[in-house]
Structure 1
Amino acid sequence: MKRSHPWWLLLLKVEDMSRSITIQKVIASPGVGSFFFDDQAAIKAGAQRDGAAYKGKAQTPGFQAVREPAESVSVMLVLSDGYIAKGDCASVQYTGVGGREPRFHAAQLAAQIEQNLAPQLWGVDVRSFRRTAGYAEKVIDGLFESKRAAAYGVSQALLDAAAHAAGHHLMAQVVKDEWGIESQLAAVPIYGQCGDERYTNVDKMILKRVPVMPHGLINTRELVGADGAALETYIGWLRARIAQLRSSHDYEPVIHLDVYGLIGAVAAGSIDKTADIIQRLESAAGPHLLRIEHPLDAGGRDAQIAALAKLRQMLKARGSKVGIIADEWANTAEDVHLFVKAGAVDMVQIKTPDLGSLHNSIDAILDCHQHGVGPVLGGTCAETDLSARATTNIGVATGVTQMLAKPGMGFDEGFNIVFNEMNRVLRSAKALNLADV
């Protein structure tokens, strides 16, 4: 196939050809994610659990069943010096809702990458991640239906390639250098995700002194209960269990719960009643700080911003210190900007697969910092070890407020991957005299 590029792409092909490292081949292999793609609309409509499966009919376009195995695509860039840079395309557990693109199918996406994207990347110099990521995103936008999933994996490989070209192999340092981040590479708090094992996995988190926990996966009305009673009971158990199992009194983790809009649903859409429930939950959590992710769902981005702003203002006026976190409807860097500019939330989950190319996540994180809003570097249980390591480097470089232990729903594995990658980066940077850490 002929290698043709627009004239301006020559800017990506370097001034000093003696030092250039270019893409010579693009390979893509279908893979699996670490959990499942779940049809959230069907689950909210009453699909019943049956062991690890769900009974009922799919409702979201792209799904054949309510629960389907998560998929991934590994993107491999063979460089001119023989190095193979890698990244994984992935999508979130609840695809196709909340403004997100439909689920992708790995075999189809891998074929598209090799057939349609590869010719556009041949010969591209990889030394500037920010520049190549922007170019690749534009190409992908014109070629793919699963734009964000594709750009997510390709950008990880490009970041890996840029770190290799720099000689130090630290993706975090590439981010710090290219965005001009003055702060040093530093450890950030990790928050654990318990999945459906809301008790056993909490014990593991306490024993491992996880600073933010447990996410909770509060995805059915029953888990919230009438007027929040069931969730209040669970938070009370959390507080007691922490006190019982912690090894020292200086361990006081933040309690972070993702409620998938269900507090608002239980409150019949009333923001007043939603605030009442949240205040009771805050009392149950004391002395631990409480963060609530996606407390209500207003059905669209602008409506969500308005509703969360009203809720947050109401809580602050009542003296509440609960952190309100945006999730659904904050799917792009532009969306995140609108949430933080409006002062609608205390924190925003930067759900990395939803933002596509990694440079968008970096921009969104720095935008949060600029507006005094805490960036939560999230993602999904449906990702891979490779994507988790790449985003860990971003969290370390940008100093996020907290960073999800991912992938998977078993907790131990995701915590292992993120914690160890963070420490590898920091120790390597110090040993190589790249950072004062």
Structure 2
Amino acid sequence: MKLSPTIRDVILAPGNGSFFYDDQAAIRAGAAHDGFRYLGAPLTSGFTTIRMPSRSLSIGLVLADDVIVWGDMMNVQYSGAGGRDPLFQVETIDAITRSVVIPRLLGVDVSDFLGACDGVFAYHEEKRLPLAIEYGASQALLRAAAHLAKTTLAEVICSEFSLPLPDRPVPIYAQCGDSREINVDKMILKSVDILPHGLINSREKFGASGETFREFVKWVAKRTQEIGEPGYHPILHFDVYGWIGLEIGMDAEKIADFIARLADEVPGYRLHIECPVNFGSTEAQLDGYARIVALLDGRGTEARIVVDEECNTLEDIGLFAKAKAAHLIQIKMPDVGSIADTAKAVLVCKENGVGAYIGGSCTETDLSARAAVNIAVATQAEMMLAKPGMGVDEGISIVGNEQSRLLSILRYRRSQSNIRNVMQHWHEKGP
């Protein structure tokens, strides 16, 4: 008997993210550490302290056969910064979900993933729903569609977007957090494809004229040679949170000079610099990043620019991709909203010859991380973040194992399809 594609009920469960929400403005202004916490008053609306434990809200869809599929809502570490949604408040999100989203969910056909997303995430009172709601509810809707079809989440995405079943892994990128040296060693010993992020989010970590950062980059490159397996040669990716611009000025040529010189100091390595500068708005970021990209391309350097801040939604990503205002665009999934939009964003990047990096945040959950893997593999993004958390091992395990299992399933599906084709040919034509 065919399973009904309807939702019988919806349940909610408050939970925890895997790291903390941090007030970027206060940290950038020089907030001092006291152990793991920051001292001083927060500067970003919604924060009661500079560092707050991240929280999440799970949404469970009760399907016709009583199976319950889940998705997790949360925001990113630096909520309220760079044009992002404000700090995640469980009570607020719970209230909107119950009053607006659940009535919509009870009326959708979950076998139509894209159609369900369009219906559930329609504007309310002329405003978009909080992106955290889109993110979590779309995970649950994708799992519902996969349950009905008896497939993986990736296969639903491939079907919805007419993509071939993938057979290649997506390179994994790990982030070290503040425990830089120990976690870099962990990444190298585990032969991570792309490393280490670096968390260069303060003047202390960047240094006068960037000297502290430059020394760290050179140390990471040297360390890969000292303790890495023979032939190990990762991409070096550093997130500097706008500090190149803050420290040496907002001039595109000076920023390009700094990055090109840094690339020369680690010859043979492909170098990614994420958020070299924040020009303060999407429009200014588009113009400034396009100029930096053109300058670096003209010099033939191995350095590549990655945009993050002020490039949040699917619409933003389309603007940056078409303007070639980055070599790579971080598709920061909780900021994009619906994971259907993440899939669309990867395809927009590919259409415009720009790299797509499926990112997210350390504040996410194991559930959202596994959904992200399915999107990344289905769309064949250029790279994906090992998440959640800042412990390195956990993110690499969750994302790496999910990818390995997924690719094994897809190989099995392909082999079974080949067997069926042979049997059908034999039946129709004879041996």
1:427 is aligned to 2:408: yes
Return the alpha-carbon distance in structure 2 between the equivalents of residues 359 and 254 of structure 1.
28
Does the residue aligned with 1:87 lie in a helix, a strand or coil?
A: strand
Matches within 5 A, 1:31-46: 31-46=15-30
Amino acid at match of 2:310: W
Structure 1 contact 298–304 (Cα < 8 Å) conserved? yes
Return the alpha-carbon distance in structure 1 between the equivalents of residues 11 and 388 of structure 2.
23
The correspondence for 2:214, drawn from 204, 207, 232, is 232
Tell me by how many angstroms 1:142 deviates: 4.3
Structure 1 contact 265–296 (Cα < 8 Å) conserved? yes
Return the alpha-carbon distance in structure 2 between the equivalents of residues 71 and 180 of structure 1.
36
1:101 is aligned to 2:82: no
Does the residue aligned with 2:87 lie in a helix, a strand or coil?
A: coil
Structure 1 counterpart of 2:134: 151
Amino acid at match of 1:34: S
Residue ranges of structure 2 left out of the alignment (5+ in a row): 419-431
1:356 is aligned to 2:337: yes
Amino acid at match of 1:62: G
Amino acid at match of 2:32: Q
Tell me by how many angstroms 1:116 deviates: 3.4
Structure 1 counterpart of 2:178: 196
Residue by residue, what CA displacement relative to the aligned partner does 1:77-125 show, whole Å, maximum 9, x if unpaired?
A: 0001111110000110000111111012113322432343212211422
Tell me by how many angstroms 1:318 deviates: 2.3
Does the residue aligned with 1:255 lie in a helix, a strand or coil?
A: strand
Structure 1 counterpart of 2:188: 206
Residue by residue, what CA displacement relative to the aligned partner does 1:118-146 show, whole Å, maximum 9, x if unpaired?
A: 1221142211111111211116x449886
Tell me by how many angstroms 1:306 deviates: 0.5
Residue by residue, what CA displacement relative to the aligned partner does 1:282-301 show, whole Å, maximum 9, x if unpaired?
A: 12222211000011110000
Does the residue aligned with 2:229 lie in a helix, a strand or coil?
A: coil
Amino acid at match of 1:23: I
Moved more, 331-340 or 122-131: 122-131
TM-score by length of structure 1 reads: 0.92
Structure 1 contact 184–436 (Cα < 8 Å) conserved? no
Amino acid at match of 1:212: I
Amino acid at match of 2:25: A
TM-score by length of structure 2 reads: 0.93
Q: Judging changes above 3 Å, is the alpha-carbon distance between structure 1 residues 306 and 328 closer, same or farther for their aligned structure 2 residues?
A: same
Matches within 5 A, 1:270-419: 270-419=251-400
Amino acid at match of 2:294: Q
Identity of aligned residues (%): 45
Residue ranges of structure 1 left out of the alignment (5+ in a row): 1-16
Return the alpha-carbon distance in structure 1 between the equivalents of residues 147 and 415 of structure 2.
15
Structure 2 counterpart of 1:3: none
The correspondence for 2:101, drawn from 117, 135, 142, is 117
Structure 1 contact 26–114 (Cα < 8 Å) conserved? no
The root-mean-square deviation of aligned C-alpha atoms, in Å, is 1.8
Structure 2 counterpart of 1:10: none
Structure 1 contact 93–381 (Cα < 8 Å) conserved? yes
Return the alpha-carbon distance in structure 1 between the equivalents of residues 290 and 348 of structure 2.
18
Structure 1 counterpart of 2:7: 23
Return the alpha-carbon distance in structure 2 between the equivalents of residues 425 and 359 of structure 1.
19
Tell me by how many angstroms 1:369 deviates: 0.4
Structure 1 contact 194–217 (Cα < 8 Å) conserved? yes
Return the alpha-carbon distance in structure 1 between the equivalents of residues 64 and 330 of structure 2.
37
Amino acid at match of 2:195: M
Amino acid at match of 2:369: A
Structure 1 contact 39–60 (Cα < 8 Å) conserved? yes
Does the residue aligned with 1:219 lie in a helix, a strand or coil?
A: coil
The correspondence for 1:90, drawn from 50, 68, 74, is 74
Residue by residue, what CA displacement relative to the aligned partner does 1:5-58 show, whole Å, maximum 9, x if unpaired?
A: xxxxxxxxxxxx955321011111111111111111111111111111111111
Tell me by how many angstroms 1:393 deviates: 0.3
Structure 1 counterpart of 2:150: 167
Return the alpha-carbon distance in structure 2 between the equivalents of residues 144 and 67 of structure 1.
29
Structure 1 counterpart of 2:223: 241
Does the residue aligned with 1:296 lie in a helix, a strand or coil?
A: coil
Return the alpha-carbon distance in structure 1 between the equivalents of residues 416 and 108 of structure 2.
29
Amino acid at match of 2:404: N
Q: Judging changes above 3 Å, is the alpha-carbon distance between structure 1 residues 298 and 434 closer, same or farther for their aligned structure 2 residues?
A: farther
Return the alpha-carbon distance in structure 2 between the equivalents of residues 90 and 186 of structure 1.
30
Moved more, 181-190 or 69-78: 181-190
Does the residue aligned with 1:329 lie in a helix, a strand or coil?
A: coil
Residue by residue, what CA displacement relative to the aligned partner does 1:228-249 show, whole Å, maximum 9, x if unpaired?
A: 211111111111111110121x
Q: Judging changes above 3 Å, is the alpha-carbon distance between structure 1 residues 413 and 436 closer, same or farther for their aligned structure 2 residues?
A: farther
Q: Judging changes above 3 Å, is the alpha-carbon distance between structure 1 residues 435 and 69 closer, same or farther for their aligned structure 2 residues?
A: farther
Residue by residue, what CA displacement relative to the aligned partner does 1:304-361 show, whole Å, maximum 9, x if unpaired?
A: 0101111111122222221101100111111001111111111100000001111111
Return the alpha-carbon distance in structure 1 between the equivalents of residues 388 and 227 of structure 2.
25
Tell me by how many angstroms 1:226 deviates: 2.1
Moved more, 33-42 or 143-152: 143-152
Return the alpha-carbon distance in structure 2 between the equivalents of residues 216 and 38 of structure 1.
16
Return the alpha-carbon distance in structure 1 between the equivalents of residues 416 and 378 of structure 2.
11
Amino acid at match of 1:210: V
Return the alpha-carbon distance in structure 2 between the equivalents of residues 349 and 416 of structure 1.
21
Return the alpha-carbon distance in structure 2 between the equivalents of residues 36 and 123 of structure 1.
35
Structure 2 contact 3–64 (Cα < 8 Å) conserved? no
Structure 1 contact 172–185 (Cα < 8 Å) conserved? no
